[in-house]
Structure 1
Amino acid sequence: MEVMSQPKYTGKRYRLDKPELLAPAGNLEKLKFAVHYGADAVYIGGQMYGLRSNADNFSFEEMREGVEFARKYGAKVFVATNIYAHNEDLEGIEAYLRNLHEVGIAAIITADPAIIEIAQRAVPEIEVHLSTQQSTMNWQSVKFWKEEGLPRVVLGREVSFQEIAEIKKHVDVEIEAFVHGAMCSSYSGRCVLSNHFTDRDSNRGGCCQSCRWSYDLFEEAPSNDVWVSEEDAQDQEEVSASKNGVTPNPLFQPEDNAFTMGSKDLCMLESIPELIEVGIDSFKIEGRMKSLHYVATVVNAYRQAIDSYMADPEHYVLKPEWVEEINKAANRPVNTGFFYDTPDHEDHIYEPEEKATPYDFAGLVLEYNSEDGKALIQQRNHFKPGQEIEFFGPGGTFFKQRVDTIWDEKGNVLDAARHAMQRIVIKVDQPVHYFDMMRCKRK
């Protein structure tokens, strides 16, 4: 990957010659993978003021290291400070923002007007991007935020292509939109279910993912002052003795699938031309709590699709292997969200979710010896001789082979690679490179 200089923010917007690919990074290792596999920018969370409190999140020293790594590839680092702040949350925010500036953060993503005002006053060198938490979906709202000095607006997930075109027609501002990842059952994250069920505030970083739970469904039986037939209520005494004269009647049978409010995931890989032509400036991938394999695979697929279209729009063709790669990293069924139409019952998940992907991240390439065709691999998941594996890397590197002999670093033959982070050696059929990944199909 060509190393480019880091663009400087000078008060005028730095315009990319093609859409920015913005990737999630839940920790420092994921940041490096995202950038290495083609992200133009990454968004991370600090240890305060973000909505993913259960992610690993970054210390200031980790942020500094991440920024330095990203700059080698011409990439930028954004920090999510997207909580809705209570009074006590604002104490220390100015010092926190100054620290972000000191370590080299390019922008913050925020929704709360108080945090926006403090950032613009205290650290004007850092860009302020409006978070999707504001549910911004019309051009007049976008115009308002531009006039407030924000160079970029992250639209609500509920906007359509037609609405985005209308926004771009009226307002000259950078538009960022989610193109891949989990969808919220509420308006762009404005959920209170978690608060209600567990006292964990979704809008202050504590979401318990209650929309993904399994739920039973009950029907209220008639109260004791309503006529009940012998067929409908065999035990009138039980009805009369129940609380408030109501006995819940479960509508699910034990063998039925439990109901969930969880939506299918968003995937717009097959709509790259439309995303570019409508004028979206930044393509955002959701998933700060997703795996390394997910981040690298999804970023790699979108990177190739975007670059292919920009190189020759008239002859652009979606390659099946890009879609296949996405499927290998998918956690849930996918759809196109609100871009083409309003999702209906077919865009929700009512069957048990297959959360695990069909492939395991098995190893990371550390070194390759072209003389003997052997690679030094850092083991990440169990694999053994005779098993089929796949290697993939940035830009489309991909091949399959069978594992033959496995050696440890001292040359001893192993019957399997079974110890996490163990450094092992195998012979590979084609050249590989540092940071290429190896995966194997889960049995």
Structure 2
Amino acid sequence: MAAMVQPTYKGKRYRLDKPELLAPAGNLEKLKFAVHYGADAVYIGGQKYGLRSNADNFSFEEMKEGVEFAKKYGAKVIVATNMYVHNEDIEGIEEYLRSLNETGVFAIIAADPAIIEIAQRIAPDLEVHLSTQQSTLNWQAVKFWKEEGLPRVVLGRETSLEEIAEIKNHVDIEIEAFVHGAMCSSFSGRCVLSNHFTDRDSNRGGCCQSCRWKYDLFEDGREDWVSEEQAALDQIVPAPSSFKPGVTQIPLFQPEDNAFTMGSKDLCMLGHIPDLIEVGIDSFKIEGRMKSIHYVATVVNVYRQAIDSYMADPENYVLKPEWIEELNKAANRPLNTGFFYDTPDHEDHIYEPEEKAAPYDFAGLVMDYDSVNGTALIQQRNHFKPGQEIEFFGPEGTFFKQVVGTITDEEGNELDAARHPLQLIRMKVDHPVKSFDMMRKRK
């Protein structure tokens, strides 16, 4: 590692080592797409001890297959074991970690000291990275975890670039930071709303994302009461429980008002790649194990291009408008820069119905290309038909638009639409395509 400098970060380069691009993979197919589209490493979840219990997650056999696939492309597989354990969770951790280690994964991400200690004891060759769930924000805390034998710390999302600079100045350790994806309205995931509302434990993998729900407000002590019959006529939504029989409390929000939500905007640091590299962040982490294949491929591909472009010529690096345009095709919510430059305020939260920004659907996957006839064999992933404009894009630079012409099934029968999931379709394409290129359509 290069010698450290004073923590001003602006104009001060800690190093120009190429950072790792770390992508989410909710299942084996997403892992393969993430690697093909440029990820240096992927993080996945197993069947236990992770915080995404609703994701597909990986069996040990799938982990082995994922590790072998990633190795062929020089990529690593990291497993999230980042839940906080209760007493009843302790039994079985050793067996799980031993089995996990046998799959050949590179590292685990852990928050609970119990999991950290057990992993270090029974699988010393398995790296342990500290989870963002530990809310690590300062250099002394990072130093503590380094002294505990951890080679990498995933910082809390609340850490600023200046704080990261100070951490890198004091501690020679790998720093991983989220650079893109959903933000938590609580403090680095330390939320219990889900527990109280739905009995699903946020920190044991069951978060129901209650911050994204729609809420109403009712003024305490307000005497504006109407009968249930009149409320129905006036289309007044009643309070969850009435304090007087046969009457309903008038909410502050009316049916024509926008519902209230606590959801935060999503993080996007694509426009600040030089700052992230120059401050010395070792791993750029993309959030989204629950996100679609189209999301993972698009976001990874864009960040891959930006990182590579900067590393090739730092002095002349330019943020390309087409990268931003691409990213917006997969964006789920409005975007901001999180805590990197300042503390988010009311403008960084979503109080009205979310504008679903992603205007495109994943329509098909290129399986093969016949260069003689200029036709592609495409696996259908979403309904499309002749006459629609579609786009092709891929990890090796494929990008073009065209209108769908005649389409046929594998036997050559002409079709009026590709409507069956995973059906194999043949169609003429305007330019050459490759396996793993994707076809998308505007919604």
Q: Is the 1:177–1:282 Cα contact (8 Å) retained in structure 2?
A: yes
1:186-335 alignment, distance < 5 Å: 186-221=186-221, 242=243, 248-335=249-336
Q: Is the 2:330–2:357 Cα contact (8 Å) retained in structure 1?
A: no
1:85 partner letter: V
Q: CA RMSD in A?
A: 1.8
State the Cα distance separating 1:248 from its structure 2 match: 4.8
State the Cα distance separating 1:243 from its structure 2 match: 5.8
1:121-160 alignment, distance < 5 Å: 121-160=121-160
Q: Is the 1:293–1:361 Cα contact (8 Å) retained in structure 2?
A: yes
Distance 2:162 2:16 in 1: 23
What is residue 9 of structure 1 aligned with on the other side?
Answer: none
Show CA shifts across 1:56-89 (max 9, x none). 0000000000000000000000000000000111
State the Cα distance separating 1:210 from its structure 2 match: 0.4
SS in structure 1 opposite 2:298?
Answer: helix
Q: Which is worse superposed, 345-354 or 166-175?
A: 345-354
What is residue 103 of structure 1 aligned with on the other side?
Answer: 103
Show CA shifts across 1:85-143 (max 9, x none). 00111111111111111110100000000110000000001000000000000000000
1:39 partner letter: A
Distance 1:200 1:281 in 2: 34
Distance 2:104 2:218 in 1: 54
Distance 2:258 2:361 in 1: 27
In the alignment of these two chains, the number of paired residues is 414
State the Cα distance separating 1:356 from its structure 2 match: 7.0
What is residue 386 of structure 2 aligned with on the other side?
Answer: 385
Q: Is the 1:304–1:395 Cα contact (8 Å) retained in structure 2?
A: no
What is residue 177 of structure 1 aligned with on the other side?
Answer: 177
- Deviation above 2 Å: which 4+ runs of structure 1? 232-235, 241-244, 246-249, 354-357
SS in structure 1 opposite 2:347?
Answer: helix
Distance 1:317 1:351 in 2: 34
Distance 1:54 1:134 in 2: 22
Gaps of at least 5 residues in structure 1 are 1-14, 224-231, 236-240
Show CA shifts across 1:323-369 (max 9, x none). 11110001111100000100000001112123473111000000001
The TM-score, its normalising length taken from structure 2, stands at: 0.91
Question: CA 1:216–1:125 in structure 2 vs 1: closer, same or farther (change >3 Å)?
Answer: same
SS in structure 2 opposite 1:164?
Answer: helix
2:255 partner letter: P
Q: Is the 1:391–1:436 Cα contact (8 Å) retained in structure 2?
A: yes
SS in structure 1 opposite 2:50?
Answer: coil
1:86-97 alignment, distance < 5 Å: 86-97=86-97
Distance 2:37 2:225 in 1: 63
Q: Is the 1:300–1:395 Cα contact (8 Å) retained in structure 2?
A: no
2:67 partner letter: V
State the Cα distance separating 1:249 from its structure 2 match: 4.4
Q: Is the 1:220–1:247 Cα contact (8 Å) retained in structure 2?
A: no
Alignment of 1:71 with 2:71, yes or no, is yes
Show CA shifts across 1:154-193 (max 9, x none). 0000011110001000000000000000000111101100
Identity %: 83
Distance 1:339 1:233 in 2: 47
Q: Is the 1:221–1:249 Cα contact (8 Å) retained in structure 2?
A: no
1:158 partner letter: E
Alignment of 1:21 with 2:21, yes or no, is yes
What is residue 8 of structure 2 aligned with on the other side?
Answer: none
The TM-score, its normalising length taken from structure 1, stands at: 0.91
Q: Is the 1:220–1:248 Cα contact (8 Å) retained in structure 2?
A: no
2:336 partner letter: N
What is residue 428 of structure 1 aligned with on the other side?
Answer: 429
State the Cα distance separating 1:221 from its structure 2 match: 2.5
Q: Is the 1:219–1:248 Cα contact (8 Å) retained in structure 2?
A: no
What is residue 412 of structure 2 aligned with on the other side?
Answer: 411
Show CA shifts across 1:285-329 (max 9, x none). 000000000000000000000000000000111111111111000
SS in structure 1 opposite 2:276?
Answer: helix
What is residue 35 of structure 1 aligned with on the other side?
Answer: 35
Q: Is the 1:47–1:59 Cα contact (8 Å) retained in structure 2?
A: yes
SS in structure 2 opposite 1:283?
Answer: strand
Q: Which is worse superposed, 290-299 or 85-94?
A: 85-94
What is residue 60 of structure 1 aligned with on the other side?
Answer: 60
Show CA shifts across 1:247-269 (max 9, x none). 85411111001100000000101
Q: Which is worse superposed, 93-102 or 135-144?
A: 93-102
Question: CA 1:27–1:356 in structure 2 vs 1: closer, same or farther (change >3 Å)?
Answer: farther
Q: Is the 1:304–1:396 Cα contact (8 Å) retained in structure 2?
A: no
Gaps of at least 5 residues in structure 2 are 1-14, 228-241
2:414 partner letter: V
Distance 2:225 2:312 in 1: 71
Distance 1:59 1:356 in 2: 33
2:393 partner letter: F
What is residue 7 of structure 1 aligned with on the other side?
Answer: none
Question: CA 1:339–1:395 in structure 2 vs 1: closer, same or farther (change >3 Å)?
Answer: farther
